[in-house]
């Protein structure tokens, strides 16, 4: 018999309809022994996520605004859910405790965590599984930094006592017992931690899409899904904007060599995307395409730059002064381009350029604002002659002018910088060249 850890996201645990689906999923495979849940998410467009409402209660409290109505909406949602599911978990008492703590100045982390806590209690009762609180098991230090080894040990020891359990995602506690949360979307991390601690065969992450798509469906309608992807490829795609899974959820699964399977609660027969340590060697050349807009490129030209000692160090020094981490730094013999996100520039472009002028004394410096970066990622690209020719050919045919090219040394990705107006055209052209 195997062991699977299944994490269900906010939309998968939003109401009775969804919870009935997850019960079927869990009961259809007895290997699904440890279940991690998010707080209830949106049931329809315009609905509120419980986590947002709980943060709002805290904000109201801090600003001396009435919080009661918002809190009541939260309570009502759980009361109705519990009633619909026909379980009883002593909710009234829980609500009283949370309210008392809120009035006494409980932290935002504590308030937000109650979304997962209450939901996990109700779902445990609904499934007939044990409820195991992650406070005291998922450990943080006094500064709120996550403690990896201590958590692994504590989860393994506690869960060995439970054959089947439901755990709340998103939070843990520090040495003094204060509740601490991960960043938003952090239940994904808890799922990975539980999978690691129990040495699961697979970590299933159930959400509302059938895995990753090769390209953003808002740009490429009917994009095909990615059936398998390696951790490294995923990291490249996530960095460039593709998001389904919390970035920090990858590490715990990766160190324990546990594959992550992204699945769709609403289409449980879809195989979803399998994320594995090693890329699955198949026919595909590219695995995915992702990109984001709003970058600025400073193209610096200086005669004999290549023989000037410390030139790049000066560039990096200026960026450090402005607390900017560069995205890319493609260079030629006497040229170098500094690619920065507009967010990190934060309206300070003139000052930055002045410093570049003063310290680097370039012959010319051109600025290209409104640049979009597009990453084409795939282990299958390496050692396949003609891949970049195909990519650049597709962009040329679509009339796109490439402003910057950067190929990672692993040959796993090619990043191009294009003008913002060409962003969507470029992604479509690359998709059609490699996938269709």
Residues that bind ligand ASP in the complex, under the rule CB under 6 A? 10, 38-39, 49, 51, 115, 169-170, 184-188
Beta-carbon contacts of residue 20 (< 8 Å; ≥ 6 apart): none
Which residue lies nearer to ligand ASP by CB, 181 or 387?
181
Q: Residue 6 Cβ, how far from ligand ASP at the closest point, in Å?
A: 14
Q: Residue 189 Cβ, how far from ligand ASP at the closest point, in Å?
A: 8
CA of 41: how far to CAs of 14, 55, 229, in Å? Answer: 5, 14, 27
Q: Residue 320 Cβ, how far from ligand ASP at the closest point, in Å?
A: 32
Beta-carbon contacts of residue 404 (< 8 Å; ≥ 6 apart): 297, 328, 330, 337, 339, 371, 373, 415, 416, 417
Structure-token match 């991390």, residue found: 189
Phi-psi category of 53—alpha, beta or left, where left has phi over 0 and alpha has psi -120 to 50? alpha
Which residue lies nearer to ligand ASP by CB, 187 or 376?
187
Q: Residue 249 Cβ, how far from ligand ASP at the closest point, in Å?
A: 9
Question: What is the Cα–Cα distance from 100 to 312, expressed in whole angstroms?
Answer: 57
Question: What is the Cα–Cα distance from 289 to 428, expressed in whole angstroms?
Answer: 10
Which residue lies nearer to ligand ASP by CB, 9 or 362?
9
Where do the H-state alpha helices sit in 330-422? 342-345, 349-360, 387-397
Q: Residue 132 Cβ, how far from ligand ASP at the closest point, in Å?
A: 17
Which residue lies nearer to ligand ASP by CB, 126 or 170?
170
Nearest 5°: the CA angle 117, 204, 172 is 30
Which residue lies nearer to ligand ASP by CB, 53 or 220?
53
**35 in Cβ contact with 167 (< 8 Å):** yes
Q: Residue 77 Cβ, how far from ligand ASP at the closest point, in Å?
A: 13
Q: Residue 191 Cβ, how far from ligand ASP at the closest point, in Å?
A: 9
DSSP state of 104: T
* CA-based nearest residue to 281, from 383, 375, 204: 383
Rg (CA), the chain: 25
Which residue lies nearer to ligand ASP by CB, 38 or 287?
38
Token couple for 425 = 């055209």
Which residue lies nearer to ligand ASP by CB, 129 or 171?
171
Q: Residue 119 Cβ, how far from ligand ASP at the closest point, in Å?
A: 9
Which residue lies nearer to ligand ASP by CB, 180 or 293?
180
């Amino acid at each position: 018999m195997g062991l699977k850890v299944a994490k269900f996201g906010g939309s998968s645990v939003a109401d009775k309809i969804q919870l009935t689906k997850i019960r079927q999923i869990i009961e259809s495979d007895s290997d699904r022994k440890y279940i991690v849940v998010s707080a209830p998410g949106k049931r329809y467009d315009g609905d509120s996520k419980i986590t947002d409402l709980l943060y709002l209660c805290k904000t109201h409290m801090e600003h001396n605004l009435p919080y009661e109505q918002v809190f009541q909406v939260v309570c009502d949602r759980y009361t109705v859910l519990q009633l619909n599911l026909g379980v009883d978990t002593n909710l009234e008492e829980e609500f009283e405790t949370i309210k008392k703590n809120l009035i006494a100045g409980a932290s935002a982390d504590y308030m937000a965590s109650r979304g997962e806590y209450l939901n996990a209690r109700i779902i445990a009762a609904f499934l007939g599984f044990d409820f195991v609180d992650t406070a005291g098991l998922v450990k943080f230090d006094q500064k709120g930094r996550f403690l990896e080894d201590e958590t692994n040990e504590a989860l393994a020891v506690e869960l060995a006592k439970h054959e089947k359990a439901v755990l709340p995602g998103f939070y843990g506690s520090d040495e003094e017992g204060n509740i601490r949360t991960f960043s938003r979307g952090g239940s994904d991390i808890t799922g990975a931690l539980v999978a690691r601690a129990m040495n699961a065969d697979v970590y299933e992450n159930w959400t509302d899409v059938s895995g990753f798509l090769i390209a953003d469906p808002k740009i490429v309608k009917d994009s095909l899904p990615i059936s398998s992807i390696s951790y490294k490829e995923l990291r490249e795609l996530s960095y460039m904007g593709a998001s389904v899974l919390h970035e920090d959820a990858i590490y715990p699964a990766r160190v324990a060599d546990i594959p992550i399977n992204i699945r769709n609660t609403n289409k449980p027969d879809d195989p979803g995307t399998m994320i594995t340590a090693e890329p699955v060697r198949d026919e595909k050349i590219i695995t995915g395409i992702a990109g984001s807009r709003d970058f600025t490129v400073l193209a610096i030209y200086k005669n004999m730059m290549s023989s000037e000692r410390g030139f790049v160090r000066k560039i990096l020094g200026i960026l450090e002064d402005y607390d900017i981490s560069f995205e890319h730094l493609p260079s030629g013999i006497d040229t170098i381009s500094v690619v920065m996100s507009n967010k990190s520039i934060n309206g300070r472009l003139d000052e930055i350029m002045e410093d570049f002028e003063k310290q680097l004394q370039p012959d010319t410096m051109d600025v290209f604002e409104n640049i979009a970066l597009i990453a084409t990622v795939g282990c299958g690209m390496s050692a396949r002659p003609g891949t970049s020719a195909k990519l650049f050919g597709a962009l040329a045919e679509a009339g796109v002018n490439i402003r910057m090219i950067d190929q990672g040394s692993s040959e796993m990705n090619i990043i191009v910088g294009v003008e913002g107006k060409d962003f969507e055209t470029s992604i479509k052209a690359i998709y059609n060249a490699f996938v269709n």
